[in-house]
Chain A
Amino acid sequence: MAALSYRMLMIDGVPAGLLGLAELFDAIYEADHHPDDENIGEVLIQGLRKHNFIPKPAIAAYNQVIIREFRTYYQKRTGGSDLVAQDYGTWEGYPRENIPWFPTISGELCDGCGKCLEVCPKDVFTIDEIGKAVVVEPFLCIVGCCFCKSACDPGAILMPNREMLDHYRHGQRHST
């Protein structure tokens, strides 16, 4: 059996690794589901649960993100663009997903100006349905970059300390 795809998404402010998301999207697209279907959330969660543990209290948060991602997928499919599996690459020899460097946003402070979307060259952010910036692709964030934080006038964006990266650099040095 072929290995399932793996993708990290920000769910309710926490990075969550999901197995088989790409295959699930393929399957429900082929089954003629649409992002606006009334039961799309249920279909997606049911499919995700085949390979992932999703706690009941978190279903709404998962739904919010997964439906949005499926909508993006659907638009790409119907737009005819090629779909490729997300490859986050490596940083200093580590898989990018192993480096906890990404922004977190205070929903209370965010004024929805969208500057973070404009400043980020990697499409880490999107604006959610209530007009606030949210992190959708934490591991596309360029390790070491925090320009979004500098551009955020209300100070809603937090980034890890730069010193945290030294831990990974030193770890690699000792292991070689």
Chain B
Amino acid sequence: MNTNENGRLKSIRAVEKEIIDEFQEFEDVDAKYIHLFQLGADMPTMNPALKTDQNFVKGCQSKLWFHLTESDGKLTLSADSDSLVIKAIAALLARIVEGRSPAEIENISMDFIDQLQIWKLASERNNGLIAMLDHIKDQAEKMTGDRVID
């Protein structure tokens, strides 16, 4: 959960740091990947009906679906992918997104991924990762827009 001992939502940076610290506990890259895959495997199964064109993340070479839902102003991200590693990255994003408001999503970046030391390619050069983040931000922005119209 993204809440601290006082029940308050942790900041995005705090959750990112938690993830970075978690990965630093593993000595080698193989152990990091085993952990990463486990995070993907542990992600709740996405309802197949949600694998729509609208939820399909374009620009990622692997198949990936994101579905963002809002309840009482708090977001939840569900995802599925044919790639275990992409699903694992989605699981990390879901952890960061959980419980935030649509407006907060704009502040999420993929920079923390670079510090996990699981690959050398900078996230800003990785179009797949950029597409993932853009998709979530677009969905969140639409939610914010919908609320303003209401």
Chain A positions within 8 Å of B, measured between CB atoms, are: 89, 115, 118-122, 142, 144-147, 149-153, 155, 157, 159, 161-162
Q: Which of B37, B60, B121 has a CB less than 8 Å from the CB of A119?
A: B121
Please give the distance in Å from B60's CB to the nearest CB on chain A.
6
Q: Which of B30, B61, B86 has a CB less than 8 Å from the CB of A142?
A: B30
B82 interface hit (Cβ, 8 Å):
yes
Would you call A145 and B33 a contact (CB within 8 A)? yes
Contact partners of A115 in chain B: CB under 8 A: 121, 125-126
Contact partners of B118 in chain A: CB under 8 A: 121
Contact pattern, B 73-109, Cβ under 8 Å of A = 1, otherwise 0 = 0000000001111100000000000000000000000
Alpha-carbon distance between A155 and B62 when the two chains are bound, in angstroms: 9
6 chain-A/chain-B pairs, Cβ below 8 angstroms: A115-B125, A118-B121, A120-B119, A121-B29, A151-B121, A151-B128
Would you call B120 and A145 a contact (CB within 8 A)? no
Which of B61, B62, B125, B126 has the most CB atoms of chain A within a 10 A radius of its CB? B61
B3 interface hit (Cβ, 8 Å):
no
Contact partners of A159 in chain B: CB under 8 A: 83
Contact partners of A153 in chain B: CB under 8 A: 61, 127
Would you call B33 and A155 a contact (CB within 8 A)? no
Q: Which residue of A lies closest to B62 (CB)?
A: A150
Please give the distance in Å from B39's CB to the nearest CB on chain A.
12
Would you call B61 and A155 a contact (CB within 8 A)? yes
Q: Which of A145, A152, A155, A157 has a CB less than 8 Å from the CB of B85?
A: A145
Contact partners of A144 in chain B: CB under 8 A: 33, 37, 84-85
Please give the distance in Å from A88's CB to the nearest CB on chain B.
11
A-B contacts besides A119-B119, A150-B60, A150-B126, 10 pairs, CB < 8 Å:
A115-B121, A119-B121, A142-B30, A144-B37, A144-B84, A147-B83, A150-B62, A150-B85, A150-B86, A153-B61
Contact partners of A119 in chain B: CB under 8 A: 119-121, 126
Would you call A147 and B37 a contact (CB within 8 A)? no
Would you call A150 and B83 a contact (CB within 8 A)? yes
Contact partners of B30 in chain A: CB under 8 A: 89, 142
Please give the distance in Å from B42's CB to the nearest CB on chain A.
14
Alpha-carbon distance between A89 and B62 when the two chains are bound, in angstroms: 27
Alpha-carbon distance between A32 and B126 when the two chains are bound, in angstroms: 44
Please give the distance in Å from A171's CB to the nearest CB on chain B.
19
Q: Which residue of B lies closest to A89 (CB)?
A: B30
Please give the distance in Å from A142's CB to the nearest CB on chain B.
5
Alpha-carbon distance between A151 and B126 when the two chains are bound, in angstroms: 6
Q: Which residue of A lies closest to B126 (CB)?
A: A151
Please give the distance in Å from A103's CB to the nearest CB on chain B.
12
Alpha-carbon distance between A105 and B131 when the two chains are bound, in angstroms: 23
